[in-house]
Amino acid sequence: MDCIFCKIIKGEIKSEILYETNDFIVINDISHMANKHYLIIPKKHFAYLNEVDEEKSKIIANIMLNMNDIEKALKLEEGYRLVINQRSNAGQTVNHLHMHILGGEKLSDKFN
């Protein structure tokens, strides 16, 4: 499958892994929309939240269970925003579900 995030997970495209569990990795976004911009990427390929079943919900839950640790590892104690873009209206460009972590500065209070 021609998926850029699957290639990063398999190591076929080099990207520094900043945090990793059995279920997901955290990397720097290649193009920063904030001073700090990371991507949380499940190792299992799926594109959309509307595909979430019992198994995938555990991956999402594990991400949430690790946020305390991730905050510390990425020094995000002053706050951050988590964003999940879904399909065209949100401008999703990579069809492998991922969460953006935006931080490192006071973020705009607008979402658009």
Instruction: Catalog residues that contact Zn ion under the rule CB under 5 A.
Output: 3, 5-6, 45, 96
Closer CB to Zn ion, 25 or 74, in the complex: 25
Cα 95 from Cα 109, distance rounded (Å): 27
Runs of H (alpha helix) within the chain:
4-10, 54-65, 67-73, 87-90
36 contacts which partner out of Zn ion, ligand 5GP, none, CB within 5 to 8 A by kind?
none
Rg (CA), the chain: 14
- CA 2 – CA 72 distance, rounded (Å): 33
The nearest distance, CB 6 to ligand 5GP, in angstroms, is: 11
Active site residue 98: yes
91 binds, among Zn ion, ligand 5GP, none (CB under 5 to 8 A by kind): ligand 5GP
By annotation, the residues acting in catalysis are: 98
